[in-house]
Amino acid sequence: MTDTTAEPMRVAAVQMTSGASVDENLRAAAELIGIAAGGGAELVLLPENFGLMGLHARDKLAIQERDGDGPQQAFLARMAQAHRAYVIGGSVPISCDDPARVRQTLLVYGPDGARRARYDKIHLFRFTHGDEDYDEAKTIVAGSEPATFAARCGRVGLSICYDLRFPELYRALGNLALIVVPAAFTARTGEAHWEALLRARAIENQCYVLAAAQAGTHPGGRRTWGHSMFVGPWGDLLDVRADGAGIVAGIVEPPVIAEVRNKLPALQHRTLGAR
């Protein structure tokens, strides 16, 4: 079922090549948020690790913030209030009970600057190929609770990067107008799977998908795939930025969601796990 009270809403994803300086990364993010909001975006999504892509995975421990207090959280609130828009921080390292790990936390701030939602990354990335070896569980404590929030366009489902590979997460979120996917996909896995996964999540949930990516080479030589995208509910690629810092944008149109769901009522045909 489509929310009949929902209205069209312009959204934008910010693509970045974040480095090892939080201050420099926040300055770059502020400029891009301003460009997106200046273009009419009412919701702006920042990528995973927008505040820091350090030399080592454990570098995030040095900049962790207490929930509700810290420079990255203050920055997100300030940007949202200044631009009268929803601003979504793709991930902020939030302290937890384990001193050797943090939560990889997505935070949503409303146009008044108040926090509207928190989501802790549930699925933690592990990948080994040649000289690439990643294991997020060494520095991150996994979350357990899916999360959404209500915007003018309808309900928005929250996820981070590796979550994209797990369709059951999005099914658990219910009826959505938009899925957001802030990410730092590796160049190798991104080239192979990124677009296919984003389009699949849009098609099977019959909603829009907005993905904000890290792009390029970061400290330590890690390479991320970029290709931030805005995908429509038919799986059509509406906007993409392959490389470099910049913006992708478009309009979440509830009538288009309704049209897709009416002509192909797949969500109504669900039997396994239907709710």
What 3-state class would DSSP assign to 198? helix
Q: Which of 42, 121, 136, 153 is catalytic?
A: 121
> Could you tell me where the beta strands, DSSP code E, fall in 63-114?
86-95, 102-109
Starting at the edge strand found earlier in the chain, the sheet holding 148-151 runs 148-151, 154-158, 178-183, 208-213, 228-231, 237-241
- Going by the DSSP 8-state scheme, the letter that residue 267 receives in this structure is G
Q: For residue 217, is it left (φ>0), alpha (ψ between -120 and 50) or beta?
A: beta
* CA separation for the pair 112, 266 (Å, rounded): 37
96 is catalytic: no
121 is catalytic: yes
- Taking residue 228's Cβ as centre, other Cβ atoms within 10 Å add up to 32
Q: Which of 42, 65, 153, 161 is catalytic?
A: 161
250, 217 in Cβ contact below 8 A? no
* CA separation for the pair 28, 48 (Å, rounded): 14
Q: Which of 48, 65, 136, 253 is catalytic?
A: 48
- 90-111 burial, b for 16+ CB within 10 Å, e for fewer? bbbbbbbeeeebbbbbbbbbbb
Token pair for residue 62?
């040095």
* Closest to 64 measured CA to CA, from 72, 75, 56, 76: 72
Q: Which residues are catalytic?
A: 48, 121, 161
